[in-house]
Amino acid sequence: MADQEKSLTWIIIVVMAGIATFGWGFLAGSYEGAHTAKVSEMSEEDRMELDGRPPRSVRAVAVVAFFANGVRQLPKLPEVISWHMSHRIWLPILIVVLEVGALIGGFAMKKLEKSLKQPGRRLQ
């Protein structure tokens, strides 16, 4: 069982990659939303198409659209970041704070793991 456990470093890397992936998705979505037509500006047919899906498929389509938009916006990475730095600075700051928090938490857990593995050391 111990051989199949993932190392703490691997887990922290995966958590940080997840934060980066979702952070980029939110950055890309925010940028895309600011640069596309609003629902009030859509044609009647487009609005009817949005309303015609059952809730479960809407959620699935939304998740796919979130990740597809993130991939689609990758070539515009410098534009997306510079736009957020001048219009919505809080979002990149939030992502950086979460990444730093995960890194600091990882170091704290590594320190705890090391102290618990020392022979003769007991929790008090």
Q: pLDDT band at 12, cuts 50/70/90?
A: very high
- Would you state the pLDDT for residue 1? 43
Please list, residue by residue across 91-112, b when 16 or more beta carbons sit within 10 angstroms of its beta carbon and e when fewer do: bbeebeebeeebeeebeeeeee
Check residue 37 and give its pLDDT: 62
Identity (one letter) of the amino acid at 104? Answer: I
Q: Which of 2, 23, 4 is nearest to 97 (CA)?
A: 23
Count the Cβ atoms, other than its own, within 10 Å of residue 82.
11
For residue 31, give both structure tokens: 């940028």
Task: Name which residue leads in pLDDT, 102 or 42.
Answer: 102
Please name which of 34, 2, 40 lies closest in space to residue 117, comparing C-alpha atoms.
Answer: 2
**Is residue 69 over pLDDT 50?**
yes
Q: Residue ranges per domain, the chain? A: 11-35+44-112
pTM of the model: 0.75
